[in-house]
């Protein structure tokens, strides 16, 4: 069995971000999440923030994405994003244009080579799940589009119409997973690279030919991108924070380069197991008008399929990222 260290204290490159508790205690620095209990509200500039778990994630109030953000609000939003990894902002009314405008705060929107965007807004994927059908988009652990040569860095998902219960999204911190590893295992993983491909997730034989024939609520375009392979490091460094994280996921990571299939399968299974432990996760409950923004560079996520009787309509935009290093 691989020995694991206790969770390391870690560091936070965003030392200029300050978080105050309501009672005015001294600002906390140097950690990715506040030490306050989940129920304690904190404030960065004019944003009110409540942690979603002890590992990652925050719910934010004090923002209205239907209007342009002030420079101060934008700076605070970006600081909170890099600090918490996934942000939940409720009671929003996004049009497709305002959704794209919000996305552009984080970079240039992607156009997906397989999942078809909307005709007038190709950057926006309509994620519709009809009542009486099982969900089939994102329903296993993954980091969005890690099979791209430049994987999507950020995802902005808007819940337009969602069931009263069910369909939560669970997020896992790959930074915290990295911190749990023993030093010998870290040294072994650092130089390794892994092959990522969409061939399993988007193969018509596994995902359903009806999506490629226009007979499903979400539609795919047949493309060479389904079977292309790219290599990414098993351990990546965040380009903004400088923090390290694991960068493998069950949906798109096929094999570790240089290892036999048996060795690769065993190592990946261990890393997948470790990185999705409950204490490394947070869970987001959707409501109509909820916006979720998350960082694919150090998170993976899982869309829970437990609302077959209900329809759901969401809209997704992803941001073009950089080559992982």
**Catalytic center residues:** 142, 144, 301, 316
- Give me the half-sphere count of Cα atoms (radius 13 Å) on the Cβ side of residue 309: 3
Which residues partner with 109 through β-bridges? 319
Please choose, from the candidates 142, 152, 102, 47, the residue with its C-alpha nearest in 3D space to the C-alpha of residue 315: 102
Measured distance CA(219)–CA(322) in Å, rounded: 27
How far CA 313 is from CA of 98, 128, 200, 295, in Å, comes to: 17, 5, 25, 22
Tell the residue number behind the tokens 């432990």, with chain if given.
277
Q: Phi then psi for 87, rounded to 5 degrees?
A: -115, 140
Residues 6+ apart with CB under 8 A from 232: 146, 151, 193, 194, 196, 247, 323, 324
Query: Are 304 and 168 contacting, i.e. CB atoms less than 8 angstroms apart?
Result: yes
Q: How many Å apart are CA 236 and CA 206, to the nearest integer?
A: 30
What would the two tokens of residue 58 be?
């925050």
Going by the DSSP 8-state scheme, the letter that residue 216 receives in this structure is S
For residue 220, what is the DSSP state?
B
């Amino acid at each position: 069995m691989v020995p694991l260290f206790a969770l390391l204290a870690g560091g936070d490159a965003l030392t200029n971000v300050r978080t105050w508790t309501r009672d005015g205690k001294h600002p906390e620095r140097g950690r990715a999440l506040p030490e306050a209990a989940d129920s304690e509200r904190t404030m960065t500039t004019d944003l009110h923030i409540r942690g979603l778990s002890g590992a990652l994630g925050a719910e934010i109030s004090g923002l209205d994405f239907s209007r342009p953000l002030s420079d101060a609000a934008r700076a605070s939003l970006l600081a909170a994003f890099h600090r918490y990894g996934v942000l939940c902002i409720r009671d929003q009314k996004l049009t497709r244009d305002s959704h794209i405008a919000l996305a552009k705060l984080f970079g240039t929107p992607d156009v997906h080579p397989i999942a078809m965007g909307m005709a007038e807004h190709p950057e926006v994927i309509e994620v519709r799940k009809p009542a009486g059908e099982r969900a089939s988009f994102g329903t296993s652990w993954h980091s969005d589009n890690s099979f791209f040569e430049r994987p999507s860095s950020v995802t902005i998902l808007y819940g337009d119409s969602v069931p009263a219960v069910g369909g939560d999204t669970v997020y896992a911190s790959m930074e915290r997973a990295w911190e749990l590893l023993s030093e010998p295992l870290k040294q072994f993983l650092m130089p390794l690279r892994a092959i990522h491909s969409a061939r399993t997730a988007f193969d018509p034989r596994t995902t359903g030919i009806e999506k490629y024939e226009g007979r499903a609520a979400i539609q795919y375009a047949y493309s060479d991108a389904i079977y292309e392979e790219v290599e990414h490091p098993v351990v990546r460094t965040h380009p903004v924070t400088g923090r390290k994280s694991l960068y493998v996921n069950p949906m798109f990571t096929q094999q570790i380069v240089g290892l036999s299939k048996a060795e690769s399968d065993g190592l990946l299974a261990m890393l997948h197991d470790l990185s999705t432990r409950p204490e490394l996760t947070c869970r987001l409950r959707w409501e109509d008008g909820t916006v979720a923004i998350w960082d694919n560079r150090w998170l993976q996520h899982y869309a829970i399929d437990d609302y077959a009787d209900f329809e759901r309509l969401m809209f997704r935009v992803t941001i073009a990222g950089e080559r992982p290093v």
